[in-house]
């Protein structure tokens, strides 16, 4: 039986957001920054998966945490246009917080017996409220500035 993973409230928002990119030393143009934000959408989408066992769930959470941390590191290395600097910093912080919360959630479910128990636990934990808020705020700012679309 396949089970939908809803590990943390921000995970869905993050997967839909799919922001990130690779760093560079020169400041990105608006179109290059927009392209980098869109590029990671596919990477973040691959972090979402259905799982059947507790072991698999923990592996997926650990992978998601590592991927999210890496994406957060990439976003932090970006040198966005000046008007996007604050939102970019907030987005990186939200991604790092999501990675931390996801890793903590994986450790918290280690003592449970079934994936259903784990998913129930995860669905009822506000563990990533801070990260989710940071990501939502950053994406709203980037959307307003024209760097992120409604679906990026």
Dist. CA 12–CA 110, nearest whole Å = 22
107: its two tokens: 């450790």
- For the chain, percent of residues with pLDDT exceeding 90: 38
Angle between helical axes of 129-145 and 85-108 (0-180°, round to 10):
150
SS3 (DSSP) at 79: coil
SS3 (DSSP) at 10: helix
The residues near 79 (Cβ < 8 Å, ≥ 6 apart) are: 23, 24, 25, 26, 27, 28
More confident site: 56 or 51: 56
Q: What is the DSSP letter of 111?
A: T
For the entire predicted model, the pTM comes to 0.66
- 1: pLDDT strictly greater than 50: no
Dist. CA 98–CA 36, nearest whole Å = 20
Q: What is the pLDDT of residues 89-146, one digit of tens each?
A: 999 999 999 999 999 999 999 989 887 788 788 878 777 788 888 999 999 999 999 9
């Amino acid at each position: 039986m396949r089970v939908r993973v809803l590990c943390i409230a921000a995970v869905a928002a993050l997967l839909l957001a799919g922001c990130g990119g690779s760093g560079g030393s020169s400041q990105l143009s608006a179109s290059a920054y927009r392209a980098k934000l869109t590029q990671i959408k596919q990477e973040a989408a691959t972090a979402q998966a259905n799982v059947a066992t507790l072991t698999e769930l923990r592996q997926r959470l650990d992978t998601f945490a590592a991927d999210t941390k890496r994406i957060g590191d990439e976003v932090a290395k970006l040198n966005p246009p000046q008007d996007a600097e604050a939102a970019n910093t907030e987005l990186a912080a939200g991604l790092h917080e999501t990675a931390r919360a996801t890793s903590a959630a994986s450790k918290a479910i280690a003592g449970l017996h079934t994936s259903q128990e784990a998913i129930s636990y995860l669905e009822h934990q506000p563990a990533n409220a801070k990260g989710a808020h940071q990501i939502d705020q950053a994406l709203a700012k980037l959307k307003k500035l024209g760097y992120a679309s409604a679906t990026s």
